[in-house]
Structure 1
Amino acid sequence: MPSLTLAEARERADLVTVTSYAVDLDLDRGVEVFGSRSVVRFTCTTPGARTWVDVHARTVTSATLNGRALDAGDLVDGRLPLPDVAGENELVVEAVMAYSHDGQGLHRATDPADGLDYVYGHLFLDAAPSVYACFDQPDLKAPYELTVLAPEEWVVLGNGAATREAPGRWRLAATLPLATYFVTVCAGPYVSVTAEHDGIPLGLHARASLREPLERHAPEMLEVTRQSFDYFHDLFGIRYPFGEYHQVFVPEFNAGAMENPGCVVLRDQYLFRGAATRDELLGRANTISHELSHMWFGDLVTMQWWDDLWLNESFAEYMSHRCLVDATRYTDAWVDSSIVRKVWGYGAERSPSTHPVAGVEALDAQSALQNFDGISYAKGAATLRQLISFVGDDAFIAGVRDYLSRLAYGNGTLANFLGAIERASGRSLEQWSRAWLLTADRDTLSVRLTEQGGVVSDAVVLRETPQRHPADRPHAFDVAGWTDGEQRLGLSLTVTDAETPVPALVGNPAPAVVVPNAADLTWARIRLSDSTIDALPAQLASVPDAQARAVVWSALLDGVHGATVSPDTFLEVFHASWPHETNPSLLTRVASYAEHRIVPWFVPRERQAGVRSALAESGRTVLEQAPAGQTASLAAARLVAGTSDDESLLRAWASGHDLPEGLSDDGDFRWIVVRNLAGRGLLDDEGIEQFRSRDDTLQGSLNALLCRASRPDADAKAWAWEQLTGRHGRSNYEMVHLARGFWQAPDDDLVAAYVPRYFDDVPAMAGWVGEDALSRVVESAFPVVFSDATARLSAAALERTDLSPGVRRPLVDCDSELREVLASRRAFAGS
C-alpha cells in the first residue's frame, strides 16, 4: 500500500481538524478477526472539498458521512474517499479487521504454556488504520473514547482508565488529544500488580504464565517508576497529565517498548524468568524511565511530522539516563550507554545509510521509519549533552519547559525547540544546529603527545572532519591518562579547530594509556594512539574509571569494524583485562561482543573453534573466582555455556547437574547450553524437543526453533529455511529466531547454497510480512558467509528497484557490515 507522503499530510492537515474519535472494538469474534466501529467527528476549512480516511480492513461493512452512505468499493490502497465534505462532519465506519502476527496493528499471540490468547495494539508508525478508521498522521491529534467487547475472562487495558460495565464489556475513559499511533488496547487474561504514587494509579501487567516473575520484579520496577515520576515532575514543572499509568509486558513485541499515553507496552523478556545481571536490570530501568519521559516528549508534545522523530527519541534517550543517574541506584547509567547505546549508534553512523540527527527529509511515513535507529537515539542524546555544554544546563531546562508549555497537547518542530532554547539562553543556535543536528557523520578525535624523558613535552588534540559530510562542530570533552592505575593527566576542554595545542598537559608524566573523551561527553570516533593500544593488555584493567574503560572498549570495537584494530588485538585485550572487570555492563556486553560479533564475523572460520575455546577459558577463570550468583559469575557462566567445547560439562549443565550457584532452575541459561550442543551436532530434533517439553512456554518454543535451525545438518538447514521464508503464519519472533540460528555452521559449505537464495527469498516476504517485522528478519537472516561472492550478490540486490523501504535500509546496513568484515580480513590476513 502507498505510504502517506508529507505533501499529502500537509494538504489534509490544512483541510481537516479532528474533534473526536469514538471507537468500538469487538474482540470476541474468534482468533482471526475482530470488529471495529469508528465514529470520527471533524471539521473542514473548505466545505465541499474532497479528502479521504485511512482504513486497512479485511472488509468494510458500512460507511456513512453525515448520514450519507459511502461506497466501500471505492476503498483503494487503504484509502476511503470522502467526497463533498461539510463544515462539520460525522463519519461512521464499520469494518472487520484482521489480527496480526508480525507485531504491528492489533497483534494476537497464543501462550503455549496454557493455551491462552493475548492481544495488544502497536500502532506505530502507520498501523492505526488496521485497527480503526482514522486520519492517520501525527499532527491530527484528537481525544478518544473506546469501548471494547472481549471474552468474559479477559482483562482490558488502554489509554484511559478501564471500567467493566458488564460481563465482557469495557469502557475506557475519554483521553486527552492523542496522535493516532499512540492509541492502544491490551486485552487478555493478564495478571496484574497495582499500586499508587502521588495520586497516580499504577499497574504492571503480564501473561498469566509470567505471574511469578512479574510479582518478583514488581517492587523494583515500581520503585524506578516512582523515582522517574518525581524526577520528571520536578525537572519539567508539568505534572503527568494522562490519568492512570499502566505498563503491560506483552509477547512478541517488535521493539523494546512503546510510549502509549497511560498504557505503555513493553517486551515481556524484561520479566527475567531466571537470573538477571545488574546491567540487565539497569537496561530495564532505563526503558521504564525512557517511556515515562515520552509522556512529555512525544505524547504531550508530538512531532508534527516524522522528520522530527528525534524530538521524541533523542530526548527520551537523554532524559532516561539523566534520571537514572540523578534519581535511582543506577548511577553508572552513562557507562552502560557508552558500551550499549553508543556502540549501536556508531554502527549506524559507519553505514552509508547514515543521516543527520534532525531535519532528515521524510517524504513519506515509511521512509521515516528507516531513520528509527541508533542515530536518532544515541547520537541525539550525545548531541543534547553537547547542547547543554554550549548553552548551560539552566538555560536548557528553561527552554525545555518553555517548549513543553507552549505546545502542550499539540505538535512541535525543530524550529520550535531551537527557538525555545534560544529564548532561554540568549544565544543563536543557527551555526551550532547546522553542525550538530543537520549534518551527518562524526568527527575523529585523537591526542598527539610528544615526550622526553617520560615527561610530556608537547600535546595537541586533533579533530578530523569527515570529507563526505564536512561540518564545523565544537566539541566539549576531556582527555585523561593513566599508568598502573594512577591518573597522570586529566583536562576538560572545548575544541573548535583541526589542531588544538594543550599546554596544560606539558610537563606532566607521560601516561601509558591516553583516552580522549574519557568521560564520553561527545559524539566522535575516538582514535587511540598506537602506544596506548600496545599498553592496553597490561594497563586497561588497572584504569579505575569505568567510564573511561567503556570508551576504550567502544573505540576498540569501532576500530575492529573500521579495519584499524586487529580482531586479535581486541581478543588479546579481552583475555588480559576482562577477567578483572568490575562494571556489570562492561562484563556482560564486552563478553557478548567477543562471542557474538568479533569471533563469528572477524575471525576466519578455520580459527574460530580455537578462539572460542580461549573465550571459554577466560569465562572459567572468572567463574572460579567471582562471588556466586553475582553479575560476574552469571556473565562468566553464560560465556562458558555459549563457547565451551567440553561435551561432558555441557551435558551436565543441560541436565541440571553441577550448575553454578544461582542457575539451578534457570531455563533461559539452560537454552544457552542446549544451543551450543545443537550447534555442535550433539543434539538431534528429538533431543531438542525434550528440552522444549520441560519449558513449554512461548520463550521455550522460540529457543527450540533457534536450536533446530542451528544444527549442522543439511536436512535441518533445509527445514529451517523453508519455515523461515515460506508462508506458514510464523510470528515475527519465530521468524527472527529461525534466522538467528540458520547460519551457524562448522563451515561455509553447509550453508553456501542459501546465500543467493537469501537475496531472492527474503525480500519476497514483503508480500505477507509487515515492514517493521521484515526489517528485523532481513538483518537477522543476512548471510554469515563473508566472501567476495556474497558481496557481489549483495551489491546486485541493492541495484534492484522493487525493494520495499523495510528491506532496503537493513540490507544497506548489512552490506556495509559485510564489507567491514572483508576489509578487516584483508588488512590483518597475516596476523
Structure 2
Amino acid sequence: MSLTLDEARARTAMLSEVSYDLLLDVTSPDAFRSRVAVRFRTKGGDTFIELHRAESVEVTLDGATVVPAYDGCRIPLDGLTPGVHEVVVDARLRYVTDGEGLHTFTDPVDGERYVGGYLGLDITQRLFACFDQLDLKGPITLNVIADPTWTVLSNGLSTVADGGRFGFATTRPIACDLFAVVAGPYHSVRWEHQGLSMGWHARRSLAAELERDAAELRRVTEVCFDHYAKTFSEPFPFDSYDQVFVPELNWGAMECPGCVTFNESLLPRERVTDDDRRRRAMVIAHEMSHMWFGDLVSPVWWEDAWLNESFADYMGFEVAETVAGYAGTRVSFEAAYKPGAFLADRRRSTHPVAPAAEDVPDVDTGTTIFDAISYGKGNAVVRQLVTWLGAADFLAGVNTHLTRHRFANATLEDLLSALDAVSPRDVRGWAEVWLRQSGHDTIRVSRSDDVPVLTRDGVRPHRFTVAAYSPSLEPVGSRLVDLADEPLELPEWAGLVVVPNAHGETFARIELDPFSYDSVARSLADLPDPLVRAVLWAMVLDQVPPAAHLDLLARQLPRESSPTLVTAALDRSLNNLVRRVLPPADVPAALEVVAAACVLDGEANEQRAVALARGLARSTSDTALLRRWLDADATDQGLALDPELRWAAVHRLAELGGVEAPEIEAERLRDGTAAGDLGAVTALAARPTVEAKSAAWAAMTEDPDVSVRRFRALAAGLWSLSQREIVAPYVAAYVAVAPSLARRGSAFAAEVGRAFPALPLTDEELELVRDALRGDVPAVLRRYWEDELDDRTARAVSF
C-alpha cells in the first residue's frame, strides 16, 4: 500500500516531535524481533503507522494494550487526543533476500552470516513500525541484540558493545528512510580524523581486499571530508562516519547519516583498474556530500529527490576529479553516464529534473524517478548552473540554504530563494526552463561562407566551451561562450573544425556541420584531449545509423587510447545497438565486427588490454580462443584473467556450447565466492540447450524465495544474442509472468524489468508487451517496459 502525497500531507499537518527508541534482536537465523517505542505530538484525530508483513504484532498505546485492525501494512491509530502519545509496537518479521527489509546473507567462503537494513523508499516499515515519510524527521535511538563476536554499526556513535548487546547514541533528527543497521563478523579499519571516529568495513572474507585498498580509501575519505568542511559553512552534522561494503546492496551506495553502505563491486577482487578507482572515489565523494545535501536538509516529498541526487552526483564527479586527484572522472561521466541521460530524456517516461509534487502522487511513482534524469541529466544541469551562475554565488546560496533548513526539510523554492538572494542573475527564470521543463536543446554548427556559426534550437541559455581544430584535428584554440536566441558567429575560426560544448559544461544535443563531422569521423581517435573525445564518441554513436556505427567502431576503437572510452564504446555498441536496434539476422555479423575491433596484439597498456579483452570475451565466436584463455588463465598475449574476465570467458564459452555443467561446477569451486556462485548460475543458464533454458526459467519463476542477485544471474544467462531460436519461446512467457513476479516489492520489480529479453525482438513480440501494458502492470515494471519499447523503436524509426 503505497503512501500517497495527500496522506503524507495530512499526517504532517497532524504530527510533530516524532522520535524512535528501537530494539532489534537478530540472534535467530529465521526471523528477528523489532520493538519500537514511537513518541509524537498530535493535534488529535485519526492516523496510522506503517509496518509491513509482520508475522506477529503486539501494540500498546500510552501504556495500554490495544488490538488494532492490522492489515499487514498499516496499524491504525484512531481517536488520538491532542498532545504527546507513545505507541509501542513489538513485532516479529522475516529476513529478506531482496534488500528490502532486514537482509540476510551467508558467505559461501566461510559460512559466516551477515544481516543489514539498507533502506530507502517504503522500506523502513519492513524493519520497524514508523511514520514512513521524509518530512516527519526524528531522532532514533537503537539497541541491537546480536552475536557478541559481531561488529554492529548504525547511524549513531557506538556507546555499548557488551555481551551481545550493542547500543548507539541517539541520532540528530533524520528521515527514517536514512536509518541503517549493519551486523556481522566484519573486518574493520578504524581511525580518527578531525576528532571524528571513522572506519571502513568489509566482510571477513574480503579482509585482504580491504587491507589492500585501505590507505587509498582513507586518503579519499579524508580529502573529501576536508574539502566539504571548507566548502560548507555548516559543520559535519553527525557524530561518526563509518563506510561499509555490504553484501547484495541494491544500489551503488546509500547515504545513511554516519553509516554509508557501499556495493561490494566497489571493492574489486584481484585487479583494480583506474576506472574502478575513479568510480569508487566519485561514489565516496557523492555519498559524503549527502551528509549535508539530503541528510542535514532533506526534501519534503519525493518530487525533490533530484535535490539530493543531482547535487550529490555533480559533487561526486567534480570532487573526485578536482580535489581527490582522479583525473579522467569527467571523461567517464561524458562517455558512460551522460549518454543514458539523453536517451532517458527522449522516452515517454521523461520528466522535468524538478517535477511538481502532484506529478508524484505516491511513493511507488517516486521510486520511478530515481533515474537517469535525476542523476545524469540532473548532474549536467547542476554543472551548467554552476558554470552560468559562477561557483562563488552557487556555493553562497547553497550554504544559506543549508543553514536555514538544518535538520529539517526544504523544497526547490527554498533553494531558489537562497540562490536568488546572492546572485544578480534571474535564477527563477533559469530554473523554469532548465528544471521545470523536460527535454533538451540542440546546439548546431553551420557555416556562413566558411565562418562557423552556432545556433540553438530550444529555450535554454547555455554557457560552454567551444573548441577549434585543424582538419586533421590538431588543437587551435578554445573559449567559453554564451548561446541563447541569437546565432553566434566565430569568424576567427573560419575554415576550421568546431566542436561546441567540448568540455561538457551543458546538457544539449550537438550537431556538427558536414565539414566538422567528416573530420571527426575520420580522425576521432587522434584528438589529444580525452574529454573532447568522450563528448564526440557519445555524439557520434548517438546519431549515426547502425552501419556507420559499426564502421566507426571498427576504424576508431583499435586506435582509441583511453580504456574508459574503449569500455564505454563497447557497452554502447553491445547493450544498445546490437541488443535493441539491429534486426535478429544482423546480430551475428555485428558481433564479429565488435570482436574484430577488440584487437589485443602487442597491447602495451594493461588497462586498455583489460577493456578490450572484456569486449572480446562478450562478442567472439572463437571457442578455441576462449578455451586457450581458460587453460592458461591468461589471454594469448599473457594478460592474467581476473575473476570478472574469467567468468566473462566462461559465460561466452557456455553460450557457444563449448563448456558443460561439470566444468562450470569446477569453475565455481575454483572461485569459491558468492560472485563465483552467481557466475556459475549465469554460465549454466547460458548453455544452448532446451534443458538449460528450461531449468533457468523454472529457477527464475517457480522459487518464491529466489534472491534478487540469483534472479539477475539467471536472466543474464537465459537471454543470449547468439541463441535467438532457442530462447524465443520464453519471450511470451516472460511477458505473461512478469507482472505477478514484480509484486514482490520494488527492488524485485526493478530486477524483473531489467530481465526484459536482452536480444532483438520481432514486431510481434514487442506487441505482446504493448498488449500487457494495457492491463494491470506494477508501476516500477511498467516504467522499465515502456522504456524498453521506446529505446527499441526510437533509433530504428530515426534511421
Place the TM-score, normalised by the shorter chain, in its bin.
Answer: over 0.9
Give the one of 464, 468, 479 matched to 1:477.
Answer: 464
Match of 1:169 in 2: 165
Matches within 5 A, 1:673-712: 673-712=649-688
- Aligned partner of residue 50 in structure 1, secondary structure: strand
Q: Which residue of 2 aligns with 1:520?
A: 504
Q: How many angstroms does 1:137 deviate by?
A: 0.6
| SS of corresponding position for 1:373 | coil
The reply on whether 1:15 has 2:14 as its aligned counterpart is yes
Paired AA for residue 370 in structure 1: T
In the alignment, the residues of structure 1 paired with residue 54 and residue 19 of structure 2 have an alpha-carbon distance, to the nearest angstrom, of 24
2:21 partner letter? A
**Which moved further from structure 2: 299-308 or 194-203?**
194-203
The answer to whether the Cα contact below 8 Å between 1:336 and 1:585 also exists between their aligned partners in 2 is yes
Partners of 2:742 and 2:748 within 8 A in 1: no
- Where does residue 810 of structure 1 map in the other structure? 784
- Encode CA deviations 1:565-614: one digit per residue, 9 max, x unaligned: 12222222223222232333213222332344333333443343343333
What residue number does 2:628 align with? 652
Indicate the residue corresponding to 1:797 in structure 2.
772
- What is residue 747 of structure 2 aligned with on the other side? 772
Which 10-residue stretch deviates more, 55-64 or 137-146? Answer: 55-64
* Structure 2 counterparts to residues 173-212 of structure 1, below 5 A: 173-212=169-208
Over the aligned positions, Cα root-mean-square deviation in angstroms equals: 1.9
Alpha-carbon distance in 1 for matches of 2:551, 2:116: 47
Contact 1:782 1:814 in 2 (8 A): no
Indicate if the aligned counterparts of 2:452 and 2:498 stay in contact, CA closer than 8 A.
no
Aligned to 2:530: 546
- TM-score of the aligned structures, taking structure 2 as reference length: 0.96
Q: Which ranges of structure 1 fall in alignment gaps of 5 or more residues?
A: 466-471, 560-564
Paired position in structure 2 for 1:562: none
CA contact (8 A) 1:274 1:665 kept: no
Question: Counterpart of 1:819 in structure 2: which amino acid?
Answer: T
SS of 1:309's equivalent? helix
> Could you give the per-residue CA deviations for residues 140-175 of structure 1, whole angstroms, max 9, x where no partner exists?
111111000112332111101224442211111111
Which residue of the partner structure matches residue 462 of structure 1?
Answer: 455
Matched residues in 2 for 1:218 and 1:733: separation?
27
Q: Which secondary structure state, in structure 2, belongs to the residue aligned with residue 625 of structure 1?
A: coil
Q: Distance in 1 between matches of 2:207 and 2:24?
A: 27
Report which stretch shifted further, 381-390 or 214-223. Answer: 381-390
SS of the residue aligned with 2:442?
A: strand
CA gap of 1:352–1:143, structure 2 versus 1, over 3 A, is: same
Deviation, structure 1 residue 324: 1.6
| Cα pair 1:537 1:572 within 8 Å, conserved | no
Kept in 2, the 8 Å contact 1:113–1:698? The answer is: yes
User: Equivalent residue of 1:449, what SS?
Assistant: strand
Alignment of 1:134-283 (within 5 A): 134-283=130-279
The worse-fitting range, judged by mean Cα deviation, of 577-586 and 110-119 is 577-586
* CA shift for structure 1 position 640: 2.5
Q: Is 1:487 aligned with 2:475?
A: yes
CA deviation after TM superposition for structure 1 residue 822, in Å = 4.0
With over 3 angstroms needed to count, the CA separation of the structure-2 counterparts of 1:85 and 1:726, relative to structure 1, is farther
Does the residue aligned with 2:135 lie in a helix, a strand or coil?
coil
**Aligned residue identity for 1:180:** C
Give, in whole Å, the separation in 2 of the partners of 1:290 and 1:588.
23
Contact kept, 8 Å, 1:253 with 1:266, in 2: the verdict is yes
Paired residues for 1:36-47 under 5 Å: 36-46=34-44
- Work out the CA distance in 1 between the residues paired with 2:143 and 2:41: 24
Paired residue for 2:484, among 493, 496, 503?
Answer: 496
1:285-315 deviation line (CA, Å, top 9, x unaligned): 1011100000001000011111110110011
For residues 374 and 417 of structure 1, do their structure 2 counterparts lie closer, same or farther at Cα, with a shift above 3 Å needed?
Answer: same
The answer as to 2:491 corresponding to 1:506 is yes
Aligned to 2:794: 820
Shift of residue 747 of structure 1? 4.3
Change (3 A) 1:742 1:701: same
Q: Which residue of 2 aligns with 1:558?
A: 542
CA contact (8 A) 2:580 2:791 kept: no
2:354 is paired with a residue whose SS is: coil
1:359 is aligned to 355
Q: 1:57-206 to 2 correspondence within 5 Å? A: 57-75=53-71, 77-206=73-202
Could you tell me which residue of structure 1 aligns to residue 366 of structure 2? 368
Q: SS state of the match for residue 655, structure 1?
A: helix
Aligned AA (1:175): T
C-alpha displacement of 1:753: 1.4
In structure 2, the CA distance between the partners of 1:22 and 1:447, relative to structure 1 (3 Å rule), is same
Match of 2:555?
576
- Confirm or deny: 8 A CA contact 2:150 2:185 kept in the other structure: yes
Shift of residue 533 of structure 1?
3.7
Q: CA deviation at 1:70?
A: 1.8
Amino acid at match of 2:177: Y
Structure 2 CA distance for partners of 1:645 and 1:254, relative to 1, 3 Å: same
8 Å CA contact 1:341, 1:378 repeated in 2: yes
Equivalent residue for 2:447, pick from 449, 454, 457: 449
CA distance in 1, matches of 2:769, 2:750: 16
Provide the C-alpha distance between the structure 2 equivalents of 1:196 and 1:782, rounded to a whole number of angstroms. Answer: 49
The counterpart of 2:590, out of the listed 611, 618, 623, is: 611
Which runs of 4 or more aligned residues in structure 1 lie more than 6 Å from their structure 2 counterparts after TM superposition?
A: none
Q: Distance in 1 between matches of 2:299 and 2:22?
A: 24
Task: Give the drift of 1:379.
Answer: 1.2
Please, which moves more after superposition, 573-582 or 322-331? 573-582
Cα deviation, 1:733-773, whole Å, max 9, x if unaligned, reads 11112112211053422122112112111111034x21123
Partner of 1:228, secondary structure, is helix
How far residue 661 of structure 1 moved from its aligned partner, in angstroms, is 7.7
2:385 aligns with 387
Question: Residues of 2 paired with 1:266 and 1:776: CA distance?
Answer: 19
- Measured in 2, the distance between the counterparts of 1:217 and 1:772 equals 30
Asked if the contact 2:433/2:460 (under 8 Å) is kept, the reply is yes
How far, CA to CA, are the matches of 1:195 and 1:3 in structure 2?
42
Distance 1:259 1:668 in 2: 27
Higher deviation after alignment, 483-492 or 392-401: 483-492
| Whole-angstrom distance in 1 between the partners of 2:235 and 2:700 | 47
Task: Report the Cα offset of residue 240 of structure 1.
Answer: 1.2
Report the alpha carbon displacement of residue 617 of structure 1 after superposing the two structures with TM.
3.2
Relative to structure 1, the CA distance from residue 332 to residue 92 in structure 2 (aligned partners, 3 Å threshold; closer, same or farther) is: same
Deviations 1:66-107 (A, max 9, x none): 112221444453333343244011111100011111111211
CA pair 120-660 structure 1, distance change in 2 beyond 3 A: farther
Distance in 1 (alpha carbons) for counterparts of 2:111 and 2:85: 44
Q: CA deviation at 1:462?
A: 2.5
Aligned to 2:413: 415
- Cα distance change on mapping 1:601 and 1:809 into 2, 3 Å: closer
5+ residue gaps, structure 2 = none
**Residue 359 of structure 1 aligns to a residue in which SS?**
coil
Aligned-partner Cα distance in 1 for 2:481–2:181: 50
Contact map agreement 1:584 1:632 (CA 8 A) in 2: yes
**Paired positions, count:** 796
Q: Contact 2:4–2:362 at 8 Å: present in 1 too?
A: yes
TM-score normalised by structure 1 residue count: 0.92
After the TM superposition, which of the residue ranges 671-680 and 83-92 deviates more from structure 2?
83-92
Can you list the C-alpha shifts for 1:427-486, whole angstroms capped at 9, x where unaligned? 4323211100000011111100244xxxx2x33222223xxxxxx211112332323231
Aligned to 1:313: 309
